[in-house]
Chain A
Amino acid sequence: MIYLDHAAATPMNEKVLEAMKPYFLTDFFNPSAAYLPAKKVAHEYEEAKGIIAHTIGAKATDLVITAGATEANNLALSIAESWDNGRILYLVTEHDSVRKVAENHNGVSINVLPNGLIDMADLREKMTDDVVIISIALANNEIGVIQPLAEVSAFIREVRFDRLSRGVRTPIYLHSDASQALNLLDINVARLGVDLMTLNAAKVYGPKGVGALYVSHEVKLKPATYGGGQERGLRAGTENVPGVIGFAKAVELAHEHLNGNRKKYARFKKILLQELEDYELINKTHTLDNFVVLCYNGLDAERLIYLLEDRGVYVSTGAACAASKGVRSHVLTALGLSESEINGSLRLTLGETNTEEQIHEAARIINEVVKTERERTHG
């Protein structure tokens, strides 16, 4: 198997599993219980949250643990509900867990330039006084394009100043889904100027079903669930201790290998781009090192997926969910690609399971499959 879909899911690191195990078996206590062993678990849980928070330059108390990125995005955008007619602005290329929420809150999308970067002029134009939150993923999940968040937050500071000067009371916050970037970029919430940030364990070789929302102390969210008041009262429910321990371990490992991995993926990407034939590269600049989005114009990428799957190579078209829903990728559409270009687009995302040998092999197999399909379609 050659797995080239690390943006969809990552295998869990052995060390992560080992770190989690005791919290299922022996240290299973409810962190809210009164006896000492439970207190110890509560302490270790907070420590783990601290490790996760630290990688983005935040504190344990800034994080709300969720059951994944989708929930974190939903929670972040729920701030719009606190204000009458609160509006959400979002980048047109955002994940469905942002778009679908925004659509229910007078959401307005901000265009991207043909290279996938935010169109700042469009943002300025669409900034109205009812906008409560702007959601822009740090790195896009279909094309890996990294957005200039610091530039956006500088603009937001201007907007804040302007609103206050005019006596407008509606606040404005910047949210960013960093699910794809946590193990590939050095992230710092203060430097980026974000008020809310979504993190996801499943994309960084941690357990599935665990995520976190960084919430700056200035943002007053309403609780997602009511109950025992866990997670600053924002998300009641007994803590997912093993999940958070695993998340912390995964984040630790990711940061230990951050630079090495980036170099490795950049090298693999270069090999692919050299050895693959007959393609156009879609994500040319400002992109994560492990994202290779290829366009085989005139071919049907879904057919390529099934043919490659038969040869043991696993790739994807756009986001896994978009592909399985039979709808054309809204991300590639936003880049201005034609229908035939979109239909011929493959997403390869490199990761820790890959070796250099695999990359050469993958390039060879993809070339063969593409050649066969070209021959079939031409007659």
Chain B
Amino acid sequence: MTEYSPNGDGRAILEIKNLKKHFRVGRRASLKAVDGISLEIKEGETLGLVGESGCGKTTVGRVLVRLYEPSDGEVLFGGQDVHRTRGDDAKLLNRKMQMIFQDPQASLNPRMVVSDIVAEGIDIHNLAESKKERLDRVHELLETVGLSKEHANRFPHEFSGGQRQRIGVARALAVEPEFIVADEPVSALDVSIQAQVINLMKTLQREHDLTYLFISHDLSVVKYISDRVGVMYLGQLVELADSDELYANPLHPYTRALLSAVPVPDPDYESERERTVIAGDLPSPVNPPSGCRFRTRCPQAVEAAAHVDPPWREAKPGHWIQACPCFA
């Protein structure tokens, strides 16, 4: 895979170079969750990462915030190698990079009250000088995410799903991060609540100059929040472009199939659209197909796709694809 070179004018806050994460399964086999991904995330943007379950999108997010060590490749945050940093520098990185998880039920400690959940990071990084300052900060954060002061002494179970996700957002914001990995932050929520959280995340981004990596399987949600979108398939990035460009002119057959599979809440559109339903299931990431990984399900697969590792290249300015022989 060729190096990703920057496009546009934004400064890269995060550079991912040929990142791989393999998990050992059994004696000789390894599950190639992420298998050679290179991309840059620019300061202040939202990069959306979409793909089906098992494509490695969550693993990418987890490697970035150092929940996993990569098997190969590197991640640079502000020029600093995230995985080779130790001591105080590492602690600082932990503060600058935060994560919001999918399940607001599982990601909040049920035995802690909200103020302690939100202030945990403040305590660890000594961001408050007195008890009063700590509490003021918690109150301020709760109000920022649309909750109120009175909520500070309650336990997570006293909240609805949407409110819990707001607590998760407040916790991430508490340490004044620069970069947030949001892993399916709205997938567990009802549609009417989803929109509340998406709008909240957009507002916070503007007010706090945040950069997001927004991971989701929901293409419509990703389009709404992202400036650029990357599509993953079996551990690799197959397409990356500006959000509007990707949805208007998808080039890779997988992106096309994925977009055409999304049911659109518009009956006329639904009855008129041409659907490319792709057959079959995702191959195992333990033993991915050679060459182009999508070839086993690709509606336009060609013989050559099995032998060539498709190069990562810029099809038009800012629009990157894994150039499989079937369409290149």
Partners in one complex: no
List chain A positions with a Cβ less than 8 A from chain B.
Answer: none
